[in-house]
Amino acid sequence: MTIEIVFAYAFLINIISFAYMYVDKQRAIKGQWRVPERKFFILAIIGGSAGIFLGMKQFRHKTKHLSFKVGIPLIFLLQFVLISYHYL
């Protein structure tokens, strides 16, 4: 797989992940049905950890959850190390 495809995929999945954080925050404000936390972790694991993390900071969403405060950065770090090892 070429580096261009990896970057295109990473960009797209992180935009989607960021958007999910926004939608969930809006639903939380309105008291509506919420996005399951499991879905956020799945998105992070498949490459959207940066989008989830940026969404947490931008929208002040899920920032009190220890699983998010620790888990999302940990997933991001692991992905960064694996991609760096593979491509560098």
Which is more confidently placed, 7 or 30?
30
Contact 51, 43 (CB under 8 A): yes
Residue 82 lies in a domain: yes
Contact 1, 35 (CB under 8 A): no
Contact 41, 79 (CB under 8 A): no
pTM, to two decimals: 0.90
Residue 4 lies in a domain: no
Structural domain count, the chain: 1
pLDDT at 87: 76
Quick one: how far is CA 18 from the chain centroid? 7
Residue 74 lies in a domain: yes
pLDDT at 15: 98
Residue 7 lies in a domain: no
Range of the domain at 51: 13-87
Residue 36 lies in a domain: yes
Task: Give residue-wise pLDDT tens across range 18-72.
Answer: 999 999 999 999 999 999 999 999 999 999 999 999 999 999 999 899 999 999 9
Rounded CA-CA distance 69/8 in Å is 26
